[in-house]
Structure 1
């Protein structure tokens, strides 16, 4: 009896090892952007460009992967099942509360620099966001960090032979420079990212 069970188990294992899984997959672009994808299956890759509201169908063997190759992939999201992959605009925005407590720092501007991080409230990508004095909110596609936050330096001014920018970064410290009566006034400003709060103070 035990021998018969053992033989049966070995037969099942042999059949399972020899089975090659196959299938078909539909890839649909429901976003408003052109999407570049890499479709990989059975040790080979195909690069496909999908215009908005278009789709393709592909067969696969053994396995498949689908990668979004756009540089602006942060503004996209992907829903995947075994039968279909659908790409949408990324509407899962993050919201940050900004407190700019420096009264005369009215021109502080957060730049995107082609990172596709910053968003308008309606989910549209934007190149920059003005951080007004007082309380405000901003939206992003991905979390902010000290590494991806870039601030506009502002319009340069000269004192003698030296050129200065209103916003200057030395190491990890920011300074707010002003020209007052022909002289440079430079103050350290603190830009702290704490959870979902961006706090600017001096």
Structure 2
């Protein structure tokens, strides 16, 4: 039996994430939603979801005493970041006039711009980037197992991760710019879209994570 902890810092719809993971995780495993740093660090696997603004995310992590627990979990066990839980792994976000983030990895979270251009026809694209889009893996990874390259996932975001080290990029997506839609290194995998809202492909990614030993390949 393994414990899978979903970090609750007061932001995001955690019920849908928890329900999706309970649906796909091995039957003997326990999925817990927690704001207790000790429970996070006792878990075998950790999911760090989120939505909203970077400044609010960082404020709430500190208020709940979770900032160090997130860093330690990302260092020591299979770790899945989702949406804002991906972005704040980097050093800094342009959001809210500039927000220092967790700094697990070097890099910046950048704004798409007021109206990015569609490279296919030159038309204006709406921000936030909302809806289904293709995710193109950059290299093989255990969490991509059983997912076709170019599978469509569901996105809602106005900012995107731009890691300093290109080797961190695990997938890209086009929305006016080709941006990093997933990053991975060692025991960490993080993705910009919402796998819990991404139908079969998203459930497969979550199922893969629930069985992942944290070895990248």
TM > 0.5: no
Q: TM-score, normalised by structure 2?
A: 0.22
- Compare the two structures and name the one with the higher strand fraction: 1
Which has a greater percent of helix?
2
Q: TM-score, normalised by structure 1?
A: 0.23
